[in-house]
Chain A
Amino acid sequence: MMDAVENDADRKRDYVLRTVEERGVRLIRLWFTDVLGRHKSVAISPAELETVFDGGLQFDGSAIDGFSRVQESDVLAVPDPSTFELLPWAAEDEPSGTMFCDITRLDGSPFPGDPRQVLRRNIDLAREAGFEMFCAPEVEFFYFADANGGVPRPLDGASYFDLTTADVSSDLRKRTLHMLEALSIPVEYSFHEDSPSQHEIDLQYTDALSMADAVMTLRLTVKKIAMDQGIYATFMPKPLNGVQGSGMHTHLSLFRDGTNAFHDPESDDGLSAVGHGFIAGLLHHAREITAVTNQLVNSYKRINEGYEAPRFISWARNNRSALIRVPIIKPGKTQSTRIEYRVLDPACNPYLAYAVILAAGLKGIVEGYGLPDEAVENLHELGPDDLASLGVQPLPSNLAEALDEMEESELVRSTLGDHIFEWFLRNKRAEWDDYQRQVTPFELEHYLPTW
């Protein structure tokens, strides 16, 4: 068995080395992610590739947010050959390839600051319990004319039927989809969203690790294709006042032995005990994991405004104000049984977000949490008394509150590991404190003329 595993790894490396040679690849970009979910890239030449496969690429981790430690700052980037892709936007005379990396310590053990390893570890725990998680996110974003001076200028929406700008964004979307398919990221749908200049790309389900990689690649691809046209794409959760922000609703399901573990034909709502437990776990721990799924000061501006973003911790089959929605499944499509977690936004670190979601859901299954009643009313329209009598809790209303909840959470600590847990809290507290000291346009507009 060990031999077979090693053999398999050798073949994957061979495949990459041979492809690099056959296709005349000039540059290989090694990709990884910092704790905040920002895309990092180091380029190596084909001549270095074999050495890097054998021993990893050594670099000083203290330059990367969330990697640094006083005693040990050097780490290794170890490329994952199964993620090798030729970059579809590389110039024809300079083919480039890319691979995602796992980050290890110099002795080869997983580096605790690497988000990809955090997700791997949690996927392995789920596997021990017999489950594989599948994810399918709906990623929203805006196209703006530029990001100059921090003022977002929508491409469309300024005037109706403005053909020129409509053409620009539909052409951008088409090009982006084409690139994503070439990067092995199948797109289910893509369309213009409600807000001016807002777009949505829905990805086809895949396993959680591949999907976290795919979200990283998608963000880079959307930005890159836009930038080529002199346009700025942003995944900032709430860039415009008064219109809905960008979310990353994610459809989730667990599979066991090749069949959908959320499905039970005998139950009233089509969901199994596993499905109920997963929902109960997510609801129970929702407040604790929100700092991870919604990590910016700005994230809470989207949540508080409502629209398609949930504000209350509830579940429902057909109620888009709920945190967790259980989509109605077409007859015979039982393998599609899934839940939709609606609070995530596209500025999250997808590795960490999927790790805490998986851990919270699993805990609900393993510990047999009871499932609260389904929310049938539109929760956005209820007052505080009604909500209290229904026993419905709100999500944290700002980053500070979310961090308080996270800090008390054993679940989040054990899921992320001490290193990332503590660094994340420190970094995000500093971000909040910084924000608290800012004089905002709101204050100037409201107070300056009066006082």
Chain B
Amino acid sequence: MANEILEEQISGEYKYGFVTDIDADNAPKGLNEEIIRFISSKKNEPEWMLDYRLKAFRYWLTLDEPHWAHVSYQKPDFQEIIYYSAPKPKVQLNSLDEVDPELLKTFEKLGISIEEQKRLSGVESRIAVDIVMDSVSVKTTFKETLSEKGIIFCSFGEAVQEHPELVKKYMSSVVPYTDNFYAALNSAVFTDGSFCYIPKGVRCPMELSTYFRINASGTGQFERTLIIADEDSYVSYLEGCTAPMRDENQLHAAVVEIVAHKNAEVKYSTVQNWYPGDKDGKGGIFNFVTKRGICLEDNSKISWTQVETGSAVTWKYPSVILKGDNSIGEFYSVAVTNNYQQADTGTKMMHLGKNTRSTIISKGISAGFSNNSYRGLVRIAKGASNARNFSQCDSLLMGDKCGAHTFPYIEIKDKSAVVEHEATTSKIGEDQLFYCKQRGIDNEKAIGLIVNGYCKEVLNKLPMEFAVEAQKLLAVSLEGSVG
């Protein structure tokens, strides 16, 4: 029984595996200073931006690829990647009528109907979407509504043009280009991304969302997101991503930076559903992402929530630097791996300020031949008095060919710190299944029920719209994996 369903799931098509036939403006393959100059001039960037890219590139050349993660994969050939691909025609769009109908169809297939968004604009739970396709932002909705409140929500390229002072001040302040191999690469070749600024005292009235889509073949996606929450502001930000099914491995190396000022709160949620490769582990996205937020001033809060179901290889540690006193960092994660997927994900909580608190809840589920690791760091610096951390990492194994691993690092240099970590690994209990079945719930539904219960702590943290999607994703990914 279980096998049948698992089979069904494995052979089931990846829903977002289509390719949109849109003319794209591609750069030649390969990586060198010429390409970087090309990207920069395509984007009509000021001098300082180009300098920054070149600095990052020269630094990147001195680095070696990191190998410490518990994953193994064929090293990407950085000269075989197209670093710039933009859907044509790229003109400033004012109304939806001007958008390429092929593009609109794509979004409808992805379940983001811009038309509908527009019609529903009076409804309360609306979402402003920035859509990034092959690293170039193609459409940002609700821009006008947001700008009335003083909120800036636009593509990164636009921000460089229109708000250079903000970009200059904050870009690279949380993730410097010297941070790691992929952050340096991203800083050199990033093509677009989202930019968001919430002014003082503003509570963003709607969820802001970026939708990432890799479309063109042979390309890598390198986008950059920068979110700044000024004093007393609040924003909830969503990120989603999909890619077509291809035999090749495509590289996605993004950087996300969040800055929270005094009393500000940022909630960042991700449903990561890049193409995971086929059932033999062929193809799929390499997802090497650097995400970090800083609670710069007192009483600020940054919360990461992620549901990771896609990608062939995931290498991702959304982190929080708790610099301001009384600041709070949170990390809630569900990571599901199936077939030959590999995930090495977790978080870093750096406690620097006084009375800082952090919570880590991580739920890993591995099935098939996959490997799923939690890797996290909790560091309490000297002088970070009364810091408090609680971490919980649970792993669920389905089948005897997969692996679940936990690698927490805890470094404490302050005596008033209280740090707790606990982790468990197990399979779905026979008694739990028996209990459900005895009450007339079939095997498949029982597993769904148990897994959803197992992930509840994390799913509860997602905004409504995402929670539904995440639950569905989980159900599809895991039905009948045990029995």
Tell whether A pairs with B. Answer: no
Contacts from B to A (Cβ < 8 Å): none
Contacts from A to B (Cβ < 8 Å): none
